[in-house]
Chain A
Amino acid sequence: MTTSLDETAVRHVAHLARLTVSDAEVARFSQQLSVILQYFEQLEGLDTTNVEPTAHPLGITDVLRDDVVCNPLSTDAALRNAPQHQDQLFQVPKVLDQDNA
């Protein structure tokens, strides 16, 4: 288990999470997240052999309902909070013809 997040790792995780972080934040998060990850290491000492994971406390399984038409939000209502929209569509910067890695 990696026990610290150096600044390069912080920038990588921030990229994965699609978060811009300032240089000051990178330094601070590197220190703070490393302390937290070191605390998490105590789980290594716990034997979980043959223990099933619990993703959900009550063991609820898939719930199905009848396939009936109901009233969804109207397009206007759905777009009401959009920062930019046009012609009943969400608007974003151009995504083609560029390196968007």
Chain B
Amino acid sequence: MSAGAGNTAFDMAWSVARGECSAEEVVRRHLDGLAESPDALNSILWYDVEHALSSARRVDAAQARGETLGPLAGVPIVLKDNICTNFGPTTCGSKMLEAFRSQYNAHVVQQLEDAGAVIIGKTNLDEFAMGSSTEHSAWGVTLNPWDTDRVAGGSSGGSAVAVAARKAPVALGSDTGGSIRQPASFCGVVGLKPTYGRVSRYGLVAFGSSLDQIGPLANDVRDTALVLGAISGHDDRDSTSADAPVPDYIAALEKSLSGVRIGMAAQYFADGLDAEVRSAVEAAVGLMERQGAKIVEIDLPHTPYAIASYYIIAAAEASSNLARFDGVHYGYRTPQPKDIIDLYASSRGEGFGAEVKRRIMLGTYALSSGYYDAYYLKALKTRTLIKKDFDDAFCHVDVIASPVSPTTAFRIGGKNEDPLSMYLGDVYTISANLAGICAVSVPCGFDAEGLPIGLQLMGPAFGEAAILAAAHQYQLGTDFHQRTPPCVSTG
């Protein structure tokens, strides 16, 4: 039942720092795991033994010199393949960037390496992070380790699966409308979307610039807090990066639930919520109440408008951001363009997949002359009302509890011809992005088919310490996060 000493990032870093084992041993063990069992789940797109080992040896050399090691010393980590690294590919799951090689590292890459982490590979995603299933990748579908006929969730599906399948103890994903939390929920791991501005977006390939945040995925809350601490903080290369102090997220975990006010809104338990998901989330809140939390009924009245507002804003920002893929500066170019317009249009038409094209067109339409006020401006005003709902709620509560997704992992191919049904599944996660607040997904049970269920805890802007503490206290009373999918040997 126990995850076993030495299997968490926290324990690995502790062992490496004390010289009980080398970073090279830790990293080699994970690389051997990747080499021995081919990644049948298609979670990892790329890994590099030499790069990983040389990074690990640098940590070991620092240890041998008696230097103080970072909090992630020797910890293997995988990154969603929309985070730029100046080694290996950064494809965004797209044919458009198949041959692209980033000339610089994302800010988070630098921070992870400064903390002693060893980047061992890049993970699969929905193309340009647009999707909720990791089915829309040019490199194929990522499978759910709990049932390989099911989706991993998305768009950070590869990162969630890699962590669930113990390919790496921790991973980074990106979350624009639930892309960390929903796959974490579907795969039975912890995933956190930080407050907008908490983590620098420098080097994250942009999708929805007012919504995107990079965040950690891990097997427990403590490892999530450990990685968050390493990647948070101000970066003057991202003008939306917040210049706010980074608390000690690990120390904050000890805060008990006694007196913590947990809000529950009827809008997050309305029609469409699967009965098993509902009862698991209600049971989780019940446990937290017995642990000392006070449950408070709250109202988030504009929730029903969140999906429409979000998909207009996200598509508009995507259509603008993805204009940079022009077949000229980098990325795919059509082989025989007739003229300059055809160079743009054919390169983009051939390089992008269907979901990316749908969103670009939706965004272009919403921003086009005559429709701007009706769609885009209306969506921005709706966003104001949704944000105000949370501002009002957080006057009365410390944390808001809800499901992450209305269902557990759905069948692969189940929503392919009906994009709207895919969008509707994001109903509980997108509001946190619209409001810019933080939220974490924590395993809280399994349905009758053995598929994981996630509990979402949302906090106010820069309230990560509070939601992590609540999630950690909940995990002290449960063992859902310690169960492993069938592909993981429990020897």
Contact = CB atoms under 8 A, between A and B. Distances in A.
B420 A18 contact: no
Interface in A87-101: 90, 92-95, 98, 100-101
B22 interface: no
A94 to B, nearest CB: 8
A56 to B, nearest CB: 5
Contacts of A94: 339-340
A33 B361 contact: yes
A60 B368 CA distance: 26
A39 B308 contact: yes
A42 B13 CA distance: 51
B46 interface: no
Nearest to B341: A100
A5 B402 CA distance: 36
B357 A21 contact: yes
B419 interface: yes
B142 interface: no
A42 B305 contact: yes
Interface string B323-339: 10011111111000111
Interface in B433-485: 434-437, 461
B242 interface: yes
Interface string A60-97: 10110100000001000110111110000010111100
Contacts of A78: 103
Given A13-B365, A18-B345, A40-B311, A58 B331 contact: no
A35 B385 contact: no
Given A17-B319, A57-B196, A10 B380 contact: no
Contacts of B381: 48, 51-54
A90 B343 CA distance: 13
Contacts of B365: 5, 13, 33, 37
B interface bracket (residues with beta carbon within 8 Å of A): 35 or more
B436 A90 contact: no
Nearest to B369: A16
B439 to A, nearest CB: 13
A55 B210 contact: yes
Given A20-B350, A25-B354, A56-B210, A80 B333 contact: no
Contacts, number: 173
A56 B341 contact: no
A33 B362 contact: yes
Given A39-B308, A43-B382, A54 B374 contact: no
A1 B374 contact: yes
Contact of B309 (A1, A32, A43, A56): A43
Q: Is the interface of A mostly helix, strand, loop or mixed?
A: loop
B455 to A, nearest CB: 23
B237 to A, nearest CB: 10
B101 A81 contact: yes
B239 A60 contact: yes
Contact of B357 (A1, A25, A39): A25
Contacts of A10: 361
Nearest to B377: A53
Contacts of A101: 341
B340 A73 contact: no
A83 B344 CA distance: 13
A51 B345 contact: no
A19 B380 contact: no
Contacts of B340: 92-95, 100
A2 B307 CA distance: 19
Contact of A81 (B329, B385, B419, B436): B329
B250 interface: no
B384 A40 contact: no
B308 A82 contact: no
Nearest to A73: B103
A27 interface: no
21 contacts: A16-B368, A18-B344, A18-B345, A19-B348, A33-B358, A33-B361, A36-B423, A42-B308, A48-B378, A57-B435, A57-B436, A58-B196, A58-B240, A58-B242, A60-B240, A78-B103, A82-B329, A93-B343, A98-B339, A100-B340, A101-B341
- The 9 A-B residue pairs with the shortest CB-CB distance, nearest first, are A57-B436, A20-B349, A53-B380, A81-B330, A83-B333, A48-B381, A18-B344, A17-B364, A54-B384
Interface of B: 99-101, 103-104, 195-197, 210, 236, 239-240, 242, 302, 304-305, 307-309, 311-312, 319, 323, 326-333, 337-346, 348-350, 352, 354, 357-358, 360-362, 364-365, 368, 371, 374-375, 377-385, 387, 418-420, 423, 434-437, 461
Given A19-B348, A77-B103, 5 more contacts: A1-B374, A18-B341, A53-B377, A57-B436, A58-B240
